[in-house]
Amino acid sequence: MYYRPEIDGLRAIAVLSVIFFHANFDYFSGGFIGVDIFFVISGYLITSIIINDLNQDKFSIKSFYERRARRILPALFTTLILSLTLGILIMDPSDLYDLSKTSLSVLIFLSNILLYSQNGYFDATIENNPLFHTWSLSVEEQYYLIIPLLLVYIFRRKLNHLLKIFLILTISSLLLAELIIKYDAMFAFFQIPTRFWELGFGSIVAILESKKSFKFNKFQKNFATLIGLTLIFFSIHLFDENSSIPGLITLIPIAGTALLIYFSRGTYIAKILSLKPFVGIGLISYSAYLLHQPIFAFVRIYRFDNIHTGIYSQAILATLIGAFVIWRYIERPFRNRDIVKLKTFLIITFISVFSLILMSIFIMNKNGLENFYKSRLSEQEIIFFKNAKELANNRKIGYSPLPNNLCFNPKKENYSICKEKYGNPILIFGDSHAANLTKSISLTNSYKFLIFNEGHHCHLYHFYEENSISTCNFKQLKEELTLDNNYKAFIYNQLGSYFLITENGETLNHVSIDYLLNDGLLSVNKNRIEKNLEFLNSLSGEFPIIWLASWIEPRYPLHNPRKAAKYGLDKIAFHPEVINGFKKIDAYAIDYIKKNNLNVHYITLFDYKNNKNWIEIFEQDCVTFNDKDHLSDCGLKIASPFFEKKLDLHIVKP
C-alpha cells in the first residue's frame, strides 16, 4: 500500500476541527465529528494494510500488533506521564484521584467504558479531565482486536462474501446506534457496538478499493470529492451537542469522509489536501489529538476556567509545538525497527506500563495525594479542604449514600418486613440533588422506609426529548407508579440551575460564578418547568405527588480550596441574581399548577415571609455546600429537620 498525502491532509481537518471545538471557537459547533473522520480513516487504513498483506500471503498477527503498538504506545505513554505529573502539581485530590483512575483505564484501552459510567461527552465538568478524549482511542483499539482476526478467518476459509459480511456488520451497528440513542445516548456515544459502523465504513471503502471493480472519469471523481468535503464542512459547522451522534445523521460526515478517501486520487481537492501545511499537521495529528485535551484542561484548572480566545490560541500553539516534538523525537524513532529494536521497545513498554500503573495506584491509595495537596494550602484555603476531601469520597462511593439501614432501598426479601413495620415506602426520584435530599431525610426519625431512584440527568423534562442524555427510564417509572399505589408519597428533586439561562443561552450550571459577578443576567426556562409538571401530573396514584423545590445554589467552587479562597471568605454568599432566579422558578411553577389545576404539590424552600434563604453557606463551623450546588455532610444534618418539617405538611405519618 503506497503513501497517500491527501489522507494526512484529511487528518489535519479532523484534528483541527476537534481542537477548535474544544476551544469553543465559533463555526466549529460540530467539530467533534473530527473523531468520526478519524474512525473512518483508521478503518480504511487498517483494513487496506491487512488485505494487502493477506493477498501477498505475508500477514502476521504478531507483526500487525507490533506495528500498532509502535504507532500508538510511545506518544500515549508520554501523554499519560505528562498528565499525571502536571496533575500532581495543580489538581485537587478528588480530580487527581479521577485522573489516576482514568489513566489505568487508558492503559487497558477501556477508558470509553469508564467515562461512560461517569459523565457525558458534552458535560461541562468533564472538560477538566485531561484524559477524557482517550475514549476514542479505546474504541479504535477494540476494533483492532476484532478486525484482523475476522479478516484472517474469512481469507483462510476462502469466503467470497467479505464485502457482504462487512456491510451486514456495519449496517447492523448503525441501526443499533440509532435504536440505543433513544434510550441511552451516552452508551451509543462511547461504546464499540454503536461505533463499529463508522470504522466499518472505512473498512468497506478499503474492500471496494481492493476489488478495483469500478472505473470513474476525472469529472466524476472531482465531483464526488467536492461533495464529500462539503458534507464534512457542513457537519463541522452545523452539528452541535444536540445532534444524535452516532445515529443516522452521522452518515453525513461519515459518507463525506468515505467519498474523499475513495475518489480523491488525482483530484483537485487531493492536491489541496496534499499541500505541505495540511500534510504537516496530518503527520502530527495523533500527538496533537493526545496533547490538546491535557493542555486545555490544565490551563482551565490553573486559570480557574477563566479562559478567552487568546488563551485558547496560545494553548493550540503549544499543542502543535508539543505534538511536533513528540512526533519528531518519540513517534518516528519508535516506529523505525532499525532505530528501536523489538527487545528495546518491549523493555521500554514494560517499564512505562509498570511505572504508570504504580504511579496511578499510589496516587489513588493516597486519596489523590491529599496530604501533599493540603501542605501547600493557606489558612483560608484550608477551610474548604474538608469539602475537597468529602467530594473525593463521594465520587468513590456515590453522592451521599444512605446510612446502613434495612429499609433504605431494601432488598426484595426485606420489603414485606419494612412495610409491616413502617407502612408504605416513600419513593424519591431525581439526580444527585435527590440523592442529597434522600440522605438528609434518612437522618430524621420520621422517614425510615425510603426507596431512592437516581441517575445521570434524571430530569423529568428529558422524557419529552427525542434524543435524551438522561440515563433514567421515565417510561418504566410511569408504568410502575400506575400499577402500584403502595407508596406513602412520591418526591421529586433536581439541580435547579438547569432551569436558569444566561444571556448566551447556556444553563447556569455550565458557567462559572464570574458570569454573575460581572453582572450577568438570568432568565427562566419555562418550558422545562412545564414539562416537569406535566410529567408529575401524569403520575396516577392515591398518594401525594410532590416536587420539592430546588435549593438555591452558591455556585462558588467550594470543592476547590484554591479557587474558593481567591474570592475571599467575606464575599462568598448567595448571589442576588441566583436568589431572584430561584424565586422566579418557584413563582412560575406555582402559577402553572394553579392555572392548569394540576395534582402536584410544589413545596418551596425559600423563606418568603422573612425574605431570606433557609440556609447560609457558612453556619458556625460548617461550610454547608461541598461544591457549587451539593449540600455537604454537615449541611445535610442542618437541612434534615427543615426538610422534615416541609414534608410533614403533605405526608401522613404512620
Judged on CB neighbours under 10 Å (0-12, 13-18, 19+), 46 is buried
Is it the case that residue 507 has pLDDT exceeding 60?
yes
Please give the residue that has the higher pLDDT: either 408 or 197.
Answer: 197
Residue 396 in this model has a pLDDT that exceeds 60: no
Domain residue limits, the chain: 5-365, 384-648
- Most confident stretch, 107-116, 288-297, 507-516: 288-297
Q: What is the pLDDT of residue 654?
A: 53
C-alpha to C-alpha distance for 546 and 548, rounded to whole angstroms:
6
Confidence of residue 122 (pLDDT cuts 50, 70, 90): very low
* Residue 342: predicted pLDDT: 95
Mean local confidence (pLDDT), 338-363: 96
pLDDT in tens, 189-227: 999 999 999 999 999 999 999 887 788 999 999 999 999
Residue 197 near residue 250, CB atoms below 8 Å: no
- Mean pLDDT across 629-637: 92
How buried is 122 (Cβ within 10 angstroms: 0-12 exposed, 13-18 middle, 19+ buried)?
A: middle
Average pLDDT of the residues in 239-248: 90
DSSP string computed for 15-78: HHHHHHHHTT-TT-TTGGGHHHHHHHHHHHHHHHHHHHHHHTT---HHHHHHHHHHHHHHHHHH
Residue 395 in this model has a pLDDT that exceeds 70: no
CATH for 384-648 is 3.40.50
Q: What is the structure's pLDDT at 471?
A: 75
pLDDT value at 397 more than 60: no
pLDDT band at 123 (very low <50, low <70, confident <90, very high): low
Whether pLDDT at 43 is above 70: yes
pLDDT tens profile 251-260: 999 999 999 9
pLDDT of 588 reads: 97
**For 145-154, what is each residue's pLDDT tens digit?**
999 999 998 8
206: nearest Cα among 37, 357, 52, 401: 52
For residues 340-363, average pLDDT: 96
| Residue 311 predicted with pLDDT over 50 | yes
Q: Alpha helices of 327-384 — where are they, by DSSP H?
A: 332-335, 342-365, 370-374, 379-383
pLDDT of residue 540: 67
**When comparing pLDDT for 625 and 401, which is higher?**
625
Q: Is residue 407 predicted with pLDDT exceeding 60?
A: yes
Q: Greater confidence, 197 or 374?
A: 197
d(CA 111, CA 132) in angstroms, rounded, equals: 8
Most confidently modeled range among 1-5, 286-290, 405-409, 618-622: 286-290
pLDDT in tens, 438-488: 989 988 878 888 888 877 789 999 998 876 777 788 888 887 777 667 888
pLDDT in the model for residue 260: 96
Given a cut of 90, whether residue 576 has pLDDT beyond it is yes
- In this prediction, residue 572 carries a pLDDT of 93
Q: How confident is the model at residue 20 (pLDDT cuts 50, 70, 90)?
A: very high
| pLDDT(579) > 50 | yes
pLDDT at 384 (0 to 100)? 83
Q: What is the pLDDT of residue 598?
A: 94
Coil/strand/helix, residue 523: strand
User: Of 210-224, 306-320, 464-478, 520-534, where does the model show the most confidence?
Assistant: 520-534
* pLDDT confidence of residue 597: 94
CB-CB contact of 364 with 395 (8 Å): no
Across all residues in the chain, what is the average pLDDT?
Answer: 90
* Dist CA 177 CA 190 (whole Å): 11
Nearest to 103 by CA among 129, 122, 65: 129
566 pLDDT above the threshold of 70: yes
Instruction: Determine the pLDDT at residue 1.
Output: 65
Q: How far apart are CA 114 and CA 180, in angstroms?
A: 19
Chain centroid, CA 292 distance in Å: 17
Instruction: Write the CA distances from 461 to 80, 122, 497, 530, 588, integer angstroms.
Output: 39, 18, 14, 8, 16
- pLDDT band (50, 70, 90) for residue 299: very high
